[in-house]
Each structure stands twice: as C-alpha cells, then as structure tokens.
Structure 1
Amino acid sequence: MFEQLDLFSNLRGTISEPYTVSQLTGHIRRLIEGDPTLSDLWVEGEVSNFSRASSGHCYFTLKDTATQMSCVMWRSVVQTQTYLPARGDFVLAHGYVGVYEAGGRYQLYVDQLQPAGLGDLYVKFEQLKARLEAEGLFDPARKRPLPPFPRRIGVVTSPAAAALRDVLNVLSRRYPLAEVLLSPTSVQGDAAPPQIVAALEALNARPGEEAVDVIIVARGG
C-alpha cells in the first residue's frame, strides 16, 4: 500500500506575509528613486515610436541593438526644446529614471534632448530598403492581387512562435473555412534566412490542386 506524500507540507506556515502588487511596485520605485546614479544621467540611443499627445507631452522609445526603454518628456520641457526628434534619430537624453506605478514599468523622464546624428539601426534599415528598391522588389508591377476568398493558406513561421497562435486564432474567428498549411522554419538567428527561403519554396512548389492561394510569413516581437 502506497502513501501519497505531500512534498510541500513542511513549507506551510513558513511563507512570509506577501506583498500586494502596489506595495512591491512602490518598493521598487523607492529603490530606484533613492539611487543617485539614476537621478541625474545622460542616455544615448536611437529614437522610435515618437509621439506628441494632445496634452503636449511627448512619448518615445530609446533603443540600441540589445534593448529599449520608454521615455517621457513633459509639456513644460517640450516647450523649452528647440529640437524634437524623428524616428531613427540618434540622441542624447538627460533626465532621471522613475517608475510609472500604474503600468508597473520604469522609464526615463527627459528634461534635455539633443541630436547626435542618425542611429545605426535606422541607417541600416534605409540602406536595405534602398537596395531592395533598386532591385525592383517594390515595383507595383511585381505585386500579385490577393484572392478575395483563399481556399488554402500557407503559413511560414516557427511552430513554437506566438505569431502562429495569433494567426490561427484570427483565422478561426474570421475565416474558419480556409485550410491552413504550416511550412516550419526558424525565424531568428543566422540559420533563419535560408530556412525561410526553403519554407517559401516548399509552399510554392505544391502542384495544381495542392497549391496554396496565399502565404503568410509571420514572426512575433
């Protein structure tokens, strides 16, 4: 006869009083605001998602090749600025790091902003776009009309990607009549480009009645 053991019985009663989400966020805010390094610093990065709200406040993202952070510039600061950035600008931003408690995230509150040239990411993007345009890949004559009611839809993505779940979720709600074929591939890393090409070629090679009517190439992030 076996006895079912409760592996957690010895732990009961030893858990400390839990924090509420608000208490924990407030504690993190106090730690950040108490750090002198974070109260007066310059940050360099590339601007994306710049917007100016009807209130006059500006919101944008600073990023580099590895990560990104949210930034806020209040209207009173905006009114003193002679320069406001555009997407792809590389900037120097001065301010302090604080916590937006309602959203549970830290962000940079900017009080000075100055240009430092175009960001490397934006320059590379524009160079790639120019090269593809020179190859004629954006020529409207190359575009094929989308079928209004595709019977078979090919999807090129990773089987583990959140993008696949999103595609299937939308199709199940909006167009459940279509047959969906997954052509699996990696969607990141050095191996991704040739695998994506091979996945597309595999779908395009399907003959006659087995052909797909349209292909979705998807990834998240």
Structure 2
Amino acid sequence: MATIPLPKIYTISDLTAEIRATLEDSFAGIWVTGEMSNFHQHSSGHMYFSLKDETSQIRAVMFRTANRQLKFQPKDGLALLVYGELSVYERRGEYQIVAEYMEPKGLGALQLAFEQLKERLQAEGLFDDARKRPIPMLPRRIGVITSPTGAAVRDILHVLRRRFAGVDVLIYPVAVQGDQAAPEIVEALGELNRRGGLDVVIVARGGGSIEDLQAFNEEMVARAIAASRIPVISAVGHEIDYTIADFVADLRAPTPSAAAELVIARQDELMQRIDDLGSRMAGIMRSRLHGLGVRIGGLDRHLRLLNPIERIRVQRRCLSDRWQNLTALADRRLTAFHSRLQTTAGKLDALSPLAILHRGYSICLRLPGHEIVKDGSAVKPGDLVEVRLHRGRLRCHVREVQAESCHEPSRGGPALSGSTGLTTG
C-alpha cells in the first residue's frame, strides 16, 4: 500500500520569502515603462510612486541614495523609463519595483530638468528684465570665469586686445564640465563679489552637448548669478545653445568671442564718437551762447529802459528833440510873422497921415484934447494948439482965424485938405 506524502505547509513568511527570492532572481535588472502616479517623497528622502499603463499598475520605490543623481524633479503624469529590480515588500506581501535609475520617456532627463528649472525660476522673477543691471559702456576691469586652458579664454583675450588694448582682465580659473564645475563657478562668483574692483564679469565656456553644458543649467549657478552685485554676461556654448545661466544673467552673449565684443566698444570707435560728440557739443554751446547773448542784450535794453536814470535820459532826449522842433517851428512862425508885420507896417506907413509930414505937411491939434483941427472955425483966437511937424512939435496960441476956400491954397504955405487957415503967434 503506497504512502501518501504529506503536503508542504508554508508559513506566510516562508511563502513570501520564497516568492521574493523567485521574483528577484527572475526579474533582476529590468526596464519598465509606464506613467508615474501617486508620487510622494518622504522626509527621509525616499520616493514612493506607482507606474501604470492602460490596464495595470505596479508600486515602485526609489531610495534616497539612488534619487540623489536625478537631474529632474519627478511628478505625476510623467511617462518614465525605469531601470531596477522586482522585489517583494514582505510586511504587506506586495511586490514592487526598486528603481535604481529613471528618465523621462521621449525627453532626456537633462532636458526635462532644464525645462522644469526654467519654469520655476521664471515664476520667481529671476528672468525679469527689470532686475537686470546695465553693462558699463567702458569697464575698467573685467573678470572672466572660465577654464584657463579652453578656447573660450583665448578668444576673449584676443578680441579684447584687438578692441581696446590695455584693458585690465582678471581670469578666475574653474572647471566648466563635470560634477565640480557648478560648485567652482558658484565659489568664483562669490569670491569676485567679495573682492570687488570689477565692473563686469563674463561667465564663459565653449560649445558642447547638453551634458557638457550641464553646470550652467544648475540651480546653484543660476542663483549665484542672480545674487551677484557685479553685472554678469553669460557666454556659454554656441549661438544655438541656451542655458539657465543665459536667462538669469544681465546679458546673454551667443559665444565667448561675442561677449568680448559686447563688453567693451572699440577704442577707435570711442575716440571717433568722442570727437563727434565734442563737435556737436561745441556747436550746441555756440548756438546756446549766441541765443543767450541775444537774450541778455534784450534784457539789458529792457533794464535800461526800466532804469529811472535811463528813462530820464530818454525823456530828456525826447524833450530836447521836441524843444528843437518847437524852436524851429517858432522861428518859422516868427519869420513869417515878421515878414507879414513888415508888409503890414509898409502898408500902414503908406496909409499913415504921419507919412505926409515927411513931405512938408503938418497937423494941428487943439489942446488940451488933441483933437485934429480940420476947420478954422474949430478954434478961436487965444486957443492953445499943437502943430506936429515931420520933426518936432510947436505949441502956439491962435492970434487970428481966417476963413478961406478949401480949393485955394493957403498963402502961408501948404495946408491939409479941408482945414481952415490959422494965424498963430
């Protein structure tokens, strides 16, 4: 009679341990793709999440020692490519993926990290033009943070010597690639700000892949540039390359050589500009001085007119002119009046009875009333009369009055017409 073997009876722990061993042996070093969900990062630094597709999901964990190397920030909804091993969490009897590496599916981790950091810093305002400082037009001392052996430093020095010989340049050597590059760049910026004496700093390196330029996409470098008191020019890679440093810096140059072109003008161009500005200034000053001279002349004339002494002088000149005009007018009127007077006097002389006396006639006046005696009957013997001659006068007493015809001449000489002959004594 055959013996029936007894079935193996597992404890829960034994079964779970055996399942774990089987899974870990069969699914070690696997790649899994799926969409991240339920992401949570514990205070310990471990990351817990799920990967899912259209019909299924699986839990996953990425411990702190592994996720420190991530270049991007995981979040729900990302399509991921995860490398790790399948394991069983014995306390719950659940299997999960222990992730050792992951990257965004279809988009490199570095590119995703770049976009995430760019979006976050932009939201903080680190890219705003309002916070960026102007680059001095003519810096006296320029700092350059770059590799001392790369082509970038040679290009910068060559262009600076060609454009403005004698400008002072301080080279601060740093690694521009690798894990130590970002900390060294941050330290260089801090040291140059503490040292002072620089007008502008150029952070530069030549071109390369996104991995080569990663130091200039690090958050610590971006914040160090933003915190710099010295204006910073970012000159990283080629013209098509953009880094986070380019967005935060006060000025972005497409290449290191272009940074040297932008940081200082050509010496001959500056001299020509100074000459042009000097000529323009001289012309403007001449024009201004001429205008001010004209204005001062006008104000001087105005002040002279307002000056009481000047006003008296002006009024005196005006009065003198008017006096001369009045004198001339009076002279003309006096001359005309004198001429008229002479004419009238001539006429009066011609008409005056006294003019007849010159021809030998006389006038007899009865005194004391001085009435002209025209008729002998007007007087009587004994009356006192005055005879006015051409020269002199006679006072006589009438001795005799003789009546005679007015048409007969007087025997005693000429007589006035209509008078009566008198005999005087």
- Structure with the bigger RCO (C-alpha within 8 Å, sep 6+) is 1
Confirm or deny a common fold (TM above 0.5). no
Q: Which structure carries more strand by proportion?
A: 1
Larger Cα Rg: Structure 1 or Structure 2? 2
State TM-score, norm by structure 1: 0.45
Q: Which structure carries more helix by proportion?
A: 2
